[in-house]
């Protein structure tokens, strides 16, 4: 059962209701970060009369019976949409967000130069991996904590909030000390222990779609975060495994309008991993925005050919600036048309 609470009630009235429900021994989630306050009651077998009683409380706006397996992530819970706020960036609003930066933090000089350049080009957030999920154990695994320190320095210099990946449960506390948004990578989308632990930090989360995950599995992974009391969740489509070897993955842009219909969570697209080829990144960036994405995650490098990781799919800052300019035009063109 899901309760939408009245936004005009006082927060202490919301909390009093949550406390009372928990005192009854009910399993309750309270979400308030990203929009209208919502309470999920997960205890099975509650009588209809109980729902009717709750519906009569002045603090309760509506009582919903979830119609989808992802109960809290379903669009009906917050039809107006969730907005994730990070510093001055607002993900899920009208302005497309641009998350840009190197695949991997390689050195102080590399990161600081790229950070300044992406800010100049119009990025709203800085990305960069300190812990990398590499297919081969012999590939560069990232700078670890030193990478996090460098990201914090880049944030200080540019004012851009930082997005960085957390690979396993043991790193969550450390990465959360540095990151503004914790990224869950494609390979970890179904690492449920990690999802639970990341949810508990209360920090915004960027949840990448598993490259072999269905949309329902992806939304159920988001549900782990929401059920853990964290509604600061941004979905990221990054391509799925297909049969075509000419591109790295198949960027599933169907997922964008579909997920916007199915869920209230904001959705961004990563055309860098989705294509694997920098020449395709501008076109697919614009296509993603035309499809209704709330923003983009783009890999950018000063000298893409020399990047230690994912250079083939990294664009340079001048291309980023052009993408940002055109993204705004595309967004304006589809504004009143691409809705849910």
Q: What is the contact surface with ligand PEP in residues (CB under 6 A)?
A: 103, 129, 133, 185-187, 208, 238, 273
Q: How far is the CB of 307 from ligand PEP (least distance, A)?
A: 11
Decide which of ligand PEP, Mn ion, none touches 208; Cβ closer than 5 to 8 Å per partner kind: ligand PEP
Whether residue 35 contacts residue 264, with contact meaning beta carbons closer than 8 Å, is answered with yes
Query: Which one among 54, 72, 77, 103 touches Mn ion, defined by CB under 5 A?
Result: 103
Nearest to 171 by CA among 184, 190, 189, 153: 184
Select from ligand PEP, Mn ion, none the partner in contact with residue 231, using the beta carbon and a kind-dependent cut-off of 5 to 8 Å.
Answer: none
**Distance separating alpha carbons of residues 80 and 36, to the nearest angstrom:** 9
Choose one: 95-103, 207-215, 237-245, 317-325; the region binding Mn ion (CB under 5 A).
95-103
Assess contact for 135 and 146: CB atoms under 8 A. no
Q: Which of 165, 231, 252, 310 binds Mn ion (CB under 5 A)?
A: 310
Query: Contacts with Mn ion: how many residues (CB under 5 A)?
Result: 2
Q: Would you count residue 189 as binding Mn ion (CB under 5 A)? A: no
Minimum Å distance from CB 300 to ligand PEP? 12
Residue found by looking up tokens 């390979």 in the block: 187
3-state secondary structure 213-227: CCHHHHHHHHHHHHH
Q: Which is nearer to ligand PEP, 119 or 273 (CB)?
A: 273
Residues in a beta bridge with 211: none
Question: Which is nearer to ligand PEP, 35 or 102 (by Cβ)?
Answer: 102
186 or 232: CB nearest ligand PEP:
186
DSSP helix/strand/coil, 144: coil
Q: Are 106 and 151 in contact (CB under 8 A)?
A: no
Q: Does 105 contact Mn ion by CB under 5 A?
A: no
Residue closest to ligand PEP when measured from CB atoms: 185
Q: Is residue 252 at the binding interface for Mn ion, with CB under 5 A as the rule? A: no
Paired sense of beta strands 84-86 and 97-101, if any: unpaired
- Least distance CB 222 / ligand PEP (angstroms): 15
CA distance 93 to 85: 9
Supply 109's token pair. 């000089």
Strand partners, 29: 40
Task: List contacts with Mn ion (CB under 5 A).
Answer: 103, 310
């Amino acid at each position: 059962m899901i309760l939408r609470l009245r936004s005009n009630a006082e927060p202490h009235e919301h909390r009093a209701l949550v406390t009372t429900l928990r005192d009854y021994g009910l399993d309750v989630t309270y979400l308030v970060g990203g929009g209208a306050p919502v309470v999920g009651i997960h205890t099975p077998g509650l009588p209809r009369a109980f729902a009717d009683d709750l519906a009569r409380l002045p603090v309760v706006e509506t009582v919903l019976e979830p119609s989808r397996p992802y109960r809290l992530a379903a669009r009906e819970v917050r039809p107006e949409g969730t907005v994730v706020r990070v510093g001055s960036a607002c993900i899920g609003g009208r302005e497309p967000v641009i998350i840009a930066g190197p695949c991997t933090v390689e050195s102080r000089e590399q990161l600081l130069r790229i950070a300044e350049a992406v800010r100049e080009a119009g990025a709203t957030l800085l990305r960069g991996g300190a812990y990398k999920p590499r297919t081969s154990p012999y590939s560069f695994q990232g700078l670890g904590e030193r990478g996090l320190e460098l990201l914090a320095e880049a944030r200080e210099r540019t004012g851009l909030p930082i997005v960085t990946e957390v690979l396993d449960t043991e790193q969550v506390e450390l990465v959360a000390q540095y990151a503004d948004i914790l990224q869950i990578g494609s390979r970890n989308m179904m690492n449920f222990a990690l999802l639970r632990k990341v949810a508990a930090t209360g920090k915004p989360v960027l949840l990448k779609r598993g490259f072999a995950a269905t949309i329902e599995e992806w939304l159920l992974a988001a549900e782990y975060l929401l059920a853990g009391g964290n509604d600061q969740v941004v979905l990221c489509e990054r391509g799925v495994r297909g049969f075509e070897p000419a591109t790295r993955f198949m960027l599933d842009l169907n997922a964008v309008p579909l997920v916007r219909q199915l869920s209230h969570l904001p959705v961004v697209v990563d055309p860098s991993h989705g294509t694997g080829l920098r020449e395709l990144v501008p076109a697919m960036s614009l296509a993603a925005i035309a499809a209704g994405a709330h923003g983009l995650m783009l890999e950018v490098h000063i000298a893409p050919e020399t990047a230690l990781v994912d250079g083939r799919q990294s664009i340079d800052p001048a291309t980023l600036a052009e993408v940002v300019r055109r993204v705004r035009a595309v967004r304006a063109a589809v504004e009143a048309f691409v809705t849910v």
